[in-house]
Structure 1
Amino acid sequence: MSLLPVQNPEVPKLTEHLFRHESAKLVSTLTGIFGIHRLQLAEDVVQEAMIRALQTWPYYGVPANPAAWLMQTAKNRALDLIRREKLFIEKQPEIAASLEALPDESEAPRFDDEIRDDRLRLIFACCHPAISLEDQTVLALKTLCAFSVGEIATVFLSSEAAVAKRLTRAKQRIQDQGIAFEIPSGADLVPRLDGVLQVLYLLFNEGYKASSGELVVKEDLCREAIRLGGLLAAHPAADHPRTHALLSLMLLDAARIPARQDREGNILRLMDQDRGVWDSTLIAAGLYHLSQSTRGEDLTEYHLQAGIAACHCTAPDYAATDWQRILDHYDRWQQISDSPLVALNRAVAVANVHGAKAGMEAVRSITKPEQLETYYLFHAVIGDFEERMDRREEAALSFSKAIELTGVAAEKSFLMERQRACETNSVYRPGKHRGRVDG
Structure 2
Amino acid sequence: MVSSLARRLGSARLDLAEEAVQDALVRALHTWPYGGVPREPRAWLFQVAKHRALDLLRREASLRGKLEIIEGEPGPVVNLDAADDRAVGDDELAMMFMCCHPSLPSLGRIALTLKTVGGFSVEEIAAAFLAEPAAIAQRLVRAKRQIREQDIPIEIPQSDEVAGRLESVLDVLYLFFNEGYSVHGGENLVRAELCGEAIRLAGILAGNRRTDLPLVHALLALMLLQASRLPARVDEAGDLLLLSEQDRARWDQGLIAEGLRHLERASSGESMTAYHVEAAIAACHAVAPDEASTNWTYVLRLYGELLSLKPSPVVELNRAIALAMVEGPTAGIRAIEGIQEHPVLARYYLLPAALGALCLRAGDARRAADYYREALTRPSSTPERRFLEKQLERCTAL
TM-score, with length taken from structure 2: 0.72
Q: Which runs of 5+ in 1 are unaligned?
A: 1-24, 50-63, 94-102, 155-161, 428-439
Q: Which amino acid aligns with 2:397?
A: S
C-alpha distance 219-346 of structure 1, shift in aligned 2 (>3 A):
same
Q: Distance in 2 between matches of 1:334 and 1:304?
A: 10
1:276 aligns with 2:249: yes
1:241 aligns with 2:214: yes
Q: Distance in 1 between matches of 2:333 and 2:153?
A: 49
Equivalent residue runs for 1:380-395 within 5 Å = 380-388=353-361, 389-390=364-365, 391-395=367-371
1:311 aligns with 2:287: no
Q: Distance in 2 between matches of 1:212 and 1:122?
A: 30
* CA deviation after TM superposition for structure 1 residue 191, in Å: 3.3
Equivalent residue runs for 1:16-415 within 5 Å = 36=11, 89-90=63-64, 108-111=84-87, 116=89, 118-128=91-101, 136=109, 140=113, 144=117, 146=120, 148=125, 174-184=147-157, 189-366=162-339, 369-388=342-361, 389-390=364-365, 391-402=367-378, 405-407=379-381, 409-415=382-388
* CA deviation after TM superposition for structure 1 residue 308, in Å: 0.5
For this pair of structures, how many residues does the alignment match?
Answer: 368
Moved more, 393-402 or 301-310: 393-402
Q: Which runs of 5+ in 2 are unaligned?
A: 24-35, 68-79
RMSD between superposed Cα atoms in Å: 4.8
* CA deviation after TM superposition for structure 1 residue 141, in Å: 5.3
Q: Distance in 2 between matches of 1:300 and 1:336?
A: 7
* CA deviation after TM superposition for structure 1 residue 183, in Å: 4.9
* CA deviation after TM superposition for structure 1 residue 302, in Å: 0.7
Q: Distance in 1 between matches of 2:350 and 2:179?
A: 15
1:418 aligns with 2:391: yes
Q: Distance in 1 between matches of 2:358 and 2:62?
A: 62
Q: Distance in 1 between matches of 2:271 and 2:129?
A: 28
Kept after mapping to 1: 8 A contact 2:11/2:153:
yes
Q: Which amino acid aligns with 1:192?
A: R
Q: Distance in 2 between matches of 1:40 and 1:383?
A: 50
Percentage of identical aligned residues:
40
Q: Distance in 1 between matches of 2:8 and 2:207?
A: 30
C-alpha distance 176-275 of structure 1, shift in aligned 2 (>3 A):
same
Q: Distance in 1 between matches of 2:189 and 2:279?
A: 21
**Structure 2 residue matching 1:320: 3-state secondary structure:** coil
C-alpha distance 40-338 of structure 1, shift in aligned 2 (>3 A):
farther
Kept after mapping to 2: 8 A contact 1:252/1:282:
yes
C-alpha distance 379-239 of structure 1, shift in aligned 2 (>3 A):
same
Q: Decide which structure has the larger Cα Rg and report it.
A: 2
Q: Which amino acid aligns with 2:101?
A: H
Q: Which amino acid aligns with 1:356?
A: P
Aligned to 1:159: none
Aligned to 2:27: none
